[in-house]
Amino acid sequence: MDFIIKNSWFLLFVAWGLPLSYYRSKFRKIVYQTDSWLINIKPVFLKEIKGLFGNIYPDNLEYKKFRNFYRFYLIIYLILFIGYINFGANSNNSTSDLLSNLIFL
């Protein structure tokens, strides 16, 4: 029980991040207008970024609804990450020490 309390930010961060690959895949399939699974491994991001922050298909209701959901999901993910960095990791470490440790994981 002590482990869960000490690592609650990390556990929340991991639990919230589990469906990320599914949501990203679905969003990329809408943006690139394909059903191919290959879109998940292709290193193309420009249209995805434009689709996330802009409105590349103004008449596509499915795109707009999922884009807004995906934005919300990513904002919560970012908040959990910042919470984990600031509050969840070892209190004795500074944020820069924690960031340097995360980079080399």
What sign results for the dihedral spanned by CA atoms 26, 29, 32, 36? positive
Query: Taking the CA of residue 35 as centre, how many other CA atoms within 13 Å lie in the half-sphere pointing to its CB?
Result: 0
Single pTM value for the model: 0.75
Q: What is the pLDDT of residue 100?
A: 61
Q: What is the pLDDT of residue 89?
A: 63
Is the Cβ–Cβ distance between 13 and 20 less than 8 Å? no
* Residue pLDDT, tens place only, 50-94: 999 999 999 999 999 999 999 999 999 998 888 888 886 655 555
* pLDDT value, residue 98: 54
At position 94, the amino acid (one-letter code) is S
Going from N- to C-terminal start, the domains of the chain cover 2-103
Q: Are 88 and 5 in contact (CB under 8 A)?
A: no
User: What does pLDDT average to over the chain?
Assistant: 84
Amino acid 81: pLDDT: 85
